[in-house]
Amino acid sequence: MSLIAKKNLDLWIVALLIVSLVMYDVTFEILTEILHILFEILHHMFEWVELGIEHAIEHLFHTDRHGSQILTFYTLMLLIAFLLYKLKFVVPLVYNAVRQLSRDAWIRRKTQAKQFWQQQDLAHRIGWSLAACVILYLASFFVM
């Protein structure tokens, strides 16, 4: 990533959110397709792990198919419970980090906008205000 893209990552994220809100139908379709593919991949990975554990239990303990399926089920439930337990500690850390980054970006951009506005003379302020009004007026035709 270039230095400019890293420096303005928060603006890229806001722009992406605005575009996704304006084109909500395309965004919804893309998200459902991505989730579908993700669940397919996770399902195949789960089946692969499940069959691997099942065959390992069959060969290690010389059990029949039903016994190995029961042991596999409880092994997978234990693994899922452990992962959920670990996730309980990771999610608040990630949430707090994203929240702090969002606050910092908001304060930084708000300060920059305020400084920019204060540096403008009256003619430029009127020009910026008119440009914003015209853009919002034109955008209102596309939102309906």
Q: Report pLDDT for 144.
A: 60
Three-class HEC string of 67-105:
HHHHHHHHHHHHHHHHHHHHHHHHHHHHHHHHHHHHHHH
Q: Report pLDDT for 140.
A: 85
pTM of the model: 0.66
| pLDDT tens for each residue of the chain, 144 residues long | 566 667 788 888 888 888 888 888 899 999 999 999 999 999 999 999 999 999 998 889 888 888 889 999 999 999 999 999 999 999 999 999 999 999 999 999 999 999 999 999 999 999 999 999 999 999 888 766
